[in-house]
C-alpha cells in the first residue's frame, strides 16, 4: 500500500512503528496512546500526509530572512519531551510556545477532561493558526494565549507541569513561581551553545534535573531571548562560528583562514567518532563555540571537513580558531571508521587544536564514554565558587546559575 492510499490513522500507526524502530525501545504507553489518537496532519494542513507523518520536523513559519521561527517538532522530540513530563489525568499544564497546537492537543489528551492546558505563543499569526487547528481537531478547551511566555500565565497558576517548547537560555523566575508543589518544568536549556531537554523538579529553593536528553529547538522569542552570534569567516563563508553567552569575538579573527590549517590527531577511532555528552567536556574550554563548515569549501580544498556535518565543536580565541575534524581510516561506505582530530587556523591555531584533542582524550580516560549528567539550577543570588572543583561546567545566567555534574555509569567503571 503506497502512502497516497493510506488513511491518516494507518499513517499515525506507521509513524509510531518507525519511531520505535529508530529509538530501539518502545514509547511510554500513555504517550503512544495520545499519538495514536491525535491526528498530526490537522496541525500542519499545508504539508503532504507523508511529511505530516514523517519523523522529521515540519517548518510552518519563517521570518523575513527565511529563518524558521516555528515548526511542528520531530515526532521523536515530541514523544521524548512528553515522556519526561509524565503528565497525569487532572494535571494543569502550561505550555510555552504553541507552535502548531499539536503538542497542546497531546497534552490535553494526557491531562484528560479533569485537567487543563494553557499554551502561550509570542507570534500572533502563529497563535491564531494554533487556535484554528485546535478548534478543527476538537480540542477547543485548550487556552491559546498570545503573549510573552517568559512571564508565564499567573491567572491560571499554579501548574503541575510547565513545558517550554522553544530553546531557553535561562529558567524564567515566573515559571518557578507558578509551579505547583511537586510540579515539574521541562525545557530545552541552552548552556554554552549546548541544548539539553531537562526535566527539573524543586529541591528547596533550587531546581534539580530528574532527566536530561539531547535535542535541538528553535530559540525562544521575547524578553527572555538571548541570541547566539553567527560569525562568518572566509570567502564562502567557508565556516560560520555560532557563539553563545555573549562571548567576545576579536576583529583579528576575520583573517584566521588566510593561513593553511595545522592538524592534531588522536588515537581515537570509532564508526561515529562521537558519544553523547562529550560536548560538555569540550565546553569547559575558553572560547567554546559551534562551527559549521561549508561543504563546497571542503570540496574546493579551502578548509578541512568538520567531524560533524551538522555542526562541529570548536574554540575561538583572539585571532585564532580550531574545530574537531575526522579522517577515514577504514570500515565501509555504510560504516566508515573515523579517526578524531582537530584543525586550527591563526597564530594560536596549533595550541587550540591541541586543547581540543586533549579534552577529547580526557573524556574517554575519565568516563569511558558513558556518564549520567545532572543539572542543578540555583538562584543567581546564591552563585558561589565553592562548587567549581566538583562541577564539570558552571554557567552563570541572569536569573540562575547552572551547575552540571557528571557521574561515570557503574557499567562504564567496570569495563
Where in the sequence numbering do the catalytic residues fall? 73
Q: How far is CA 151 from CA 176, 189, 203, 236, in A?
A: 10, 17, 22, 41
Helices (H), 122-251: 124-137, 173-177
Give the H/E segment covering residue 23: helix 8-23
> Which own/partner contact pairs does 283-286 have at CB distance under 8 Å and 24+ positions apart?
283/191, 283/192, 283/193, 283/194, 283/313, 283/393, 284/359, 284/392, 284/393, 285/315, 285/355, 285/356, 285/359, 286/315, 286/317
- On whether the CB atoms of residues 306 and 272 are closer than 8 A, the answer is no
Neighbour count for residue 326 (Cβ, 10 Å): 26
Q: How far is CA 172 from CA 38, 166, 225, 260, 333, in A?
A: 30, 13, 11, 45, 46
Q: For residue 231, give the C-alpha cell.
A: 560569525
In DSSP terms, which residues pair with 406 in a beta bridge? 373
Pick the closest to residue 28 from 86, 101, 67 (CA basis).
86
Please count the residues of the chain: 415
In DSSP terms, which residues pair with 213 in a beta bridge? 197
Torsions phi, psi of 278, nearest 5?
A: -60, -30
- Count helices and strands in the chain by DSSP H and E runs: 11, 19
Q: What is the distance between the alpha carbons of residues 353 and 46, in angstroms, rounded to a whole number?
A: 46
- On whether the CB atoms of residues 159 and 179 are closer than 8 A, the answer is yes
Helix, coil or strand: residue 223: coil
Helix, coil or strand: residue 105: helix
Pick the closest to residue 117 from 147, 148, 83, 91 (CA basis).
91
Q: For residue 64, give the C-alpha cell.
A: 523575513
DSSP code of residue 24? T
Q: What is the distance between the alpha carbons of residues 198 and 218, in angstroms, rounded to a whole number?
A: 16
Helix axes 102-111, 29-37, angle to 10 degrees: 120
Amino acid at each position: 500500500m503506497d502512502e497516497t492510499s493510506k488513511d491518516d490513522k494507518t499513517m499515525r500507526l506507521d509513524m509510531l512503528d518507525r519511531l520505535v524502530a529508530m529509538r530501539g525501545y518502545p514509547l511510554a504507553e500513555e504517550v503512544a496512546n495520545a499519538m495514536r489518537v491525535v491526528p498530526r496532519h490537522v496541525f500542519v494542513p499545508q504539508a503532504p500526509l507523508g511529511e505530516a507523518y514523517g519523523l522529521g520536523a515540519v517548518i510552518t513559519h519563517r521570518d523575513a530572512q527565511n529563518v524558521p521561527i516555528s515548526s511542528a517538532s520531530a515526532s521523536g522530540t515530541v514523544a521524548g519531551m512528553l515522556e519526561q513530563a509524565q503528565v497525569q489525568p487532572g494535571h494543569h499544564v502550561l505550555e510555552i510556545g504553541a507552535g502548531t497546537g499539536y503538542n497542546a492537543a497531546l497534552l490535553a489528551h494526557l491531562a484528560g477532561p479533569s485537567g487543563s492546558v494553557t499554551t502561550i505563543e509570542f507570534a500572533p499569526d502563529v497563535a491564531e493558526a494554533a487556535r484554528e487547528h485546535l478548534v478543527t481537531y476538537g480540542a477547543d478547551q485548550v487556552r491559546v494565549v498570545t503573549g510573552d511566555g517568559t512571564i508565564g500565565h499567573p491567572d491560571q497558576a499554579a501548574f503541575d507541569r510547565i513545558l517550554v517548547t522553544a530553546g531557553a537560555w535561562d529558567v524564567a523566575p515566573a515559571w518557578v513561581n507558578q509551579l505547583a508543589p511537586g510540579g515539574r518544568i521541562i525545557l530545552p536549556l541552552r548552556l554554552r551553545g549546548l541544548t539539553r531537554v531537562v526535566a527539573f523538579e524543586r529541591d528547596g529553593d533550587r531546581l534539580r534535573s530528574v532527566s536530561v536528553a539531547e535535542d535541538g529547538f528553535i530559540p525562544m522569542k521575547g524578553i527572555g531571548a538571548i541570541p547566539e552570534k553567527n560569525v562568518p569567516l572566509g570567502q564562502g563563508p567557508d565556516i560560520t562560528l555560532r557563539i553563545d553567552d555573549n562571548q567576545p569575538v576579536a576583529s583579528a579573527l576575520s583573517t584566521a583562514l588566510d593561513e593553511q590549517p595545522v592538524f592534531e590527531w588522536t588515537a581515537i577511532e570509532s564508526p561515529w567518532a562521537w558519544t553523547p555528552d562529550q560536548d560538555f567536556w569540550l565546553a569547559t574550554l575558553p572560547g567554546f563555540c559551534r562551527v559549521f563548515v561549508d561543504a563546497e569549501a571542503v570540496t574546493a580544498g579551502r578548509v578541512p571537513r568538520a567531524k560533524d556535518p551538522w555542526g562541529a565543536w570548536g574554540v575561538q580565541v583572539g585571532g585564532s580558531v580550531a574545530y574537531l575534524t575526522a579522517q577515514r581510516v577504514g570500515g565501509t561506505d555504510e560504516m566508515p571508521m573515523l579517526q578524531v582530530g582537530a584543525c586550527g587556523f591563526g597564530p594560536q591555531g596549533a595550541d587550540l587544536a591541541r586543547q581540543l584533542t586533549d579534552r577529547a582524550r580526557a573524556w574517554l580516560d575519565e568516563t569511558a564514554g558513558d556518564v549520567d549528567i545532572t543539572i542543578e539550577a540555583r538562584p543567581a543570588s546564591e552563585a558561589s565558587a565553592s562548587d567549581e572543583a566538583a562541577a564539570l561546567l558552571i554557567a552563570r545566567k541572569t536569573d540562575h546559575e547552572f551547575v552540571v555534574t557528571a557521574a561515570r555509569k557503574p557499567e562504564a567503571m567496570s569495563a
